[in-house]
Amino acid sequence: MREVTAGIWHWQAPHPDWGGEEDEWWPELVSSYAIETGDQFVLTDPLAVPDELRERATAVLLTAPYHERDARKLGLPIHTPPADTWQDWVEKFGVDPEKVRGMESEDLAWLRAGEGEGHFHEPGAWPFDIQAYAGREDNDVILWLPAAGALVCGDTISDFGDGLDIHLGGRTHVTKEQVQERLRPLLDLPVELVLPAHGEPTDRAALARVLDVI
């Protein structure tokens, strides 16, 4: 664990679902953050939270429903995008609708069933003066925390070992160029830090390179 700047901590931990050779396209170590924002102390996409940060935490922020990691065991209010529907799978991945019709995602099923305090949000205004921007899809968001001058990125903008970039993760409903265009307004924000869920914290210049504006 290290304090990246005043009020922002970063650490990495091995993902328990990493499958070795079959998952070599993404690194086993994933990133989590703790961020002071106003009177809140939030954990983002948390995994293996250090005790001294866990004791201070007031809420969990997820950039995507499949980033719940250790959220359930923390016992904190969770703010998250909604899980995919079967219609989303058809749109995003081109799967045969007859094979998935009526199915429900396992992501955050326990939270949807009332086992914990869950708040499901679309892109737009979130609690704690946070703004969520749709990434490669509406439920893989990039969170703007103005009090910290930081963007917390989900999988849309991450470093899977070859530098920070846009990742589509097998989605066929959108192109990299379309995501770049969608996210260029992020550069209108006074961004100082970019905090990916995979990879190390980086800066505004790296974001500009990803969005192909320099």
What is the per-residue pLDDT for 38?
87
What is the per-residue pLDDT for 149?
96
Mean pLDDT of 200-206: 95
CATH of the domain at 185: 3.60.15.10
Number of domains in the chain: 1
What is the per-residue pLDDT for 23?
63
Mean pLDDT of 75-94: 95
φ and ψ at residue 187, rounded to 5 degrees: -75, -10
| 20 confidence band (pLDDT: 50, 70, 90) | low
Mean pLDDT of 81-101: 94
What is the per-residue pLDDT for 169?
87
What is the per-residue pLDDT for 158?
94
Global pTM value? 0.94
Residue whose structure tokens are 């909604």:
82
Domain that holds residue 13: 2-210
Chain-wide mean pLDDT for the chain?
93
Q: How far apart are CA 82 and CA 85, in angstroms?
A: 9
Is 70 exceeded by the pLDDT of residue 95?
yes
State in Å, rounded, how far the first CA of the chain is from the last one.
32
Is 90 exceeded by the pLDDT of residue 213?
no
Q: Within 13 Å, how many C-alpha atoms sit on residue 191's CB side? A: 25
Q: What is the pLDDT of residues 101-159, one digit of tens each?
A: 999 999 999 999 999 999 999 999 999 999 999 999 999 999 999 999 999 998 999 99
What is the chain's length? 214
107 in Cβ contact with 83 (< 8 Å): yes
Q: How far apart are CA 126 and CA 143, in angstroms?
A: 9
Q: How far apart are CA 120 and CA 135, in angstroms?
A: 17
